[in-house]
Structure 1
Amino acid sequence: MVVIAAASLALLVSACGDDGGNDDGNDEAEDTAGEDGGSADWTFGPIYGVNNNDDDDLDGKRDWLTPPFDADTDLMPLTITADQVAGFSDGDSVRLTLSGDADLMRMWHNGAHVLGSGAAEPILEYTFTPSGEETLWVEFGEFLARGSVVIDHVSGGEAVESDTIELVSSPAIMNHHLMPAEHLWIVQTSDNAEYVMDYLEALTSDVSLVQGVMYQQDRWIQDEIEFATSTDAAGGRLDTVIDSIRDRGLDNFPEDEFGPQTDWFIGTWGSPTNATTFDAFGNLDASPPAPGFPFGRIYYGLENGQGLDSALATFLDEQTLQQPFPLDSIWLCVGHVDEFSSFVPDPTAPKGYRLLLADTASGLELLDSIDPGHPTNRYNSAYGYATAGDIAADAALRAYNEDIQVNELDGIREAFKSALSLTDEEIIEVPTIFQAEGNCGAGAMTTGTVNLIVANIDGKGIKLMVPDPFFRNDAEGPESDPWAQDFEARMPDGLDVVWTDDWFSYHLLLGEVHCGTNVTRTPQADWTVDGAELLGLEGAN
Structure 2
Amino acid sequence: MVRVTLPGRTVLAITLAGAALVPAAPAFAADPPARADLRADVNRDGAVDVTGDTDNAGEDGWTTRRGAVFLPNIDDDTKRCKSTGPDGKPLPDAKLARCNDAADTKVNGTADAADLARLRTVPMPELRGGATGTVKVTGTGAKYTRLFVKRATGWTAVTPTTRLSAAELRAGVELGIEGTDVVRDRAVWDGTAVVELKVSPGGGAEASTDRVTLHAAPLLTHHHLQQARQVLVTELRGDDPYVRAQRNFVKTLETEVKRAGVTAPLVKFTKGDDIWAQDFLEPGYVTMAGPGGTPQGMRVMIRSAQPDRTAGRQVFEKLRGRDVGAVQVALGRGDESSTLDSMGNLETIPAYEHGGRSYPAGRIIMGEQKDIGFKPAKAMRTLLASQGMQDPLLLDTSWLHVGHVDEFVQFLPADTPRGWRIAIADPAAGMRLLKDAKAAGHGGTRMFSVKGGKDLPAPKETIDQVLASRAIREDNALAARRIAANLEILKRETGVTDAEVVRVPALFTRGSEEERGDGARTPRLTRLGASVEVPEAVREYGQQRDLKEPAAGTVMTSAYIPGAVNGVVLGKDRYLAPKQWGPVIGGKDIFTEAVNAAYREAGMRVSYIDDYETYHLGMGEVHCGTNTLRDISAPWWKR
Q: Which residue of 2 aligns with 1:414?
A: 488
Q: Which residue of 2 aligns with 1:428?
A: 502
Rounded Cα–Cα distance in structure 2 between residues aligned with 1:95 and 1:201: 58
- Which residue does 2:311 correspond to in 1? 250
Contact 2:136-2:147 at 8 Å conserved across structures: no
Residues 70 and 223 (structure 1), Cα distance of their counterparts in 2 relative to 1, 3 Å cut: closer
Unaligned runs of 5+ in 1: 1-9, 20-27, 32-44, 116-122, 531-541
SS in 1 for 2:352: coil
Deviations 1:152-177 (A, max 9, x none): 454444355x5431212211110112
1:221 aligns with 2:277: yes
Cα distance in 2 for partners of 1:387, 1:167 equals 64
Q: How many Å apart are 1:13 and its aligned residue?
A: 2.4
Match of residue 56, structure 1, among 55, 71, 77: 77
Counterparts of 1:431-446 in structure 2, within 5 Å, are: 431-438=505-512, 440=550, 441-446=556-561
What is aligned with 1:300?
366
Provide the rounded CA distance (Å) in 2 between the counterparts of 1:316 and 1:307.
14
Match of 2:223 in 1: 176
1:520 aligns with one of 612, 625, 629: 629
Bigger Cα Rg: 2
Shift of 1:455: 0.9
1:177 partner amino acid: H
Corresponding letter in the other structure for 2:126: G
Whether the 8 Å contact between 2:129 and 2:166 is mirrored in structure 1 is: no
Alignment equivalent of 1:74, drawn from 82, 92, 115 = 115
Find the counterpart in structure 2 of residue 283 from structure 1: 345
| Counterpart in the other structure of 1:375 | 446
Aligned-partner Cα distance in 2 for 1:380–1:442: 24
> In the alignment, what sits opposite 2:570?
455
**Which of residues 123, 145, 151 in structure 2 aligns to 1:105?**
145
Distance 1:210 1:285 in 2: 22
Change (3 A) 1:130 1:529: farther
Partner secondary structure for residue 222 of structure 1: coil
TM-score w.r.t. the length of structure 1 is 0.80
Q: Deviations over 1:427-478 (max 9, x none)?
A: 112222111113752111011111010112xxxx7321101111135xx99x
1:198, distance to aligned residue in structure 2 (A)? 2.8
- Give the whole-Å Cα distance in 2 for the aligned partners of 1:269 and 1:451: 27
Query: Is 1:158 the equivalent of 2:206?
Result: yes
Instruction: Name the one with the larger helix percent.
Output: 1
AA aligned to 2:379 is A
Q: 1:183 to 1:505 in 2, by over 3 A?
A: same
Matches for 1:30-49 after TM superposition, within 5 Å:
47-49=68-70
Alignment of 1:339 onto 2:410: no
Q: Is the 8 A contact 1:14 1:78 kept in 2?
A: no
Distance change in 2, residues 1:201/1:527 (3 Å): closer
Structure 1 residues 438 and 294 mapped into 2: Cα distance closer, same or farther (>3 Å)? same
| Amino acid paired to 2:142 | A
Aligned to 1:536: none
Deviation at 1:378, TM superposition (A): 4.5
Q: CA distance change for structure 1 residues 308 and 14 in 2, over 3 Å: closer, same or farther?
A: same
**60-69 vs 496-505, greater mean Cα deviation:** 60-69
Cα RMSD, aligned residues only? 2.9
Query: Secondary structure in 2 aligned to 1:179?
Result: coil
Identity %: 26
The aligned counterpart of 2:427 is 360
TM-score of the aligned structures, taking structure 2 as reference length: 0.68
Query: Where does residue 510 of structure 1 map in the other structure?
Result: 619
For 2:52 and 2:196, how far apart are their aligned partners in 1? 17
Post-superposition shift, 1:87? 2.4
Equivalent position amino acid for 2:114 in 1: T
Equivalent pair of 1:434/1:446 in contact (CA under 8 Å): yes
Aligned residues of 2:278 and 2:626 also touching (Cα < 8 A) = yes
Change over 3 Å in CA distance of 1:157–1:53 after alignment to 2: farther
* Cross-structure match for 1:486: 594
